[in-house]
């Protein structure tokens, strides 16, 4: 994965993400939408054959977009870990 910050302002960040598709970016977008400080979040993929996308986040006045993005990414990781735990428990019960 390659990251390049294109715009960095007090209330927003836009970055170019290389080597990732809709799977990761959609998960991050969903987590950012759930964050209390986020006003706007999303991503664009200019063309399916292109290996880059743009990820952006805008936060409420006085809030830090980097902090909101980091917390949103942490939330996404926690959601995946919760899924894996429940999946593994379900598989173990199925075997019994």
Given a cut of 90, whether residue 90 has pLDDT beyond it is no
pTM beyond 0.85: yes
Segment 63-89, tens digit of pLDDT: 999 999 999 999 999 999 999 999 999
Torsion angle defined by CA atoms of residues 89, 91, 95 and 96, in that order, rounded to the nearest 10 degrees:
20
Any idea which fold 2-89 has?
A: Gyrase A; domain 2 (3.30.1360)
Share of the chain above pLDDT 70, in %: 99
Among 47, 65, 50, 72, CA closest to 6: 65
Largest Cα–Cα distance of the chain, in whole Å? 55
Q: Which residue ranges make up each domain of the chain? A: 2-89
Segment 44-58, tens digit of pLDDT: 998 888 899 999 999
Q: Whole-number mean pLDDT of the chain?
A: 95
């Amino acid at each position: 994965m390659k990251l390049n910050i294109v715009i960095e302002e007090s209330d927003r960040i836009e970055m170019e993400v290389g080597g990732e598709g809709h799977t990761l970016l959609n998960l991050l977008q969903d987590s950012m939408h759930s964050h209390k400080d986020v006003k706007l979040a999303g991503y664009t993929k200019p063309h399916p054959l292109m290996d880059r996308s743009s990820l952006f986040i805008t936060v409420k006045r006085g809030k830090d977009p980097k902090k909101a993005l980091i917390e949103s990414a942490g939330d996404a990781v926690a959601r995946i870990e919760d899924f894996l735990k429940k999946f593994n428990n379900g598989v173990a019960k199925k075997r019994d």
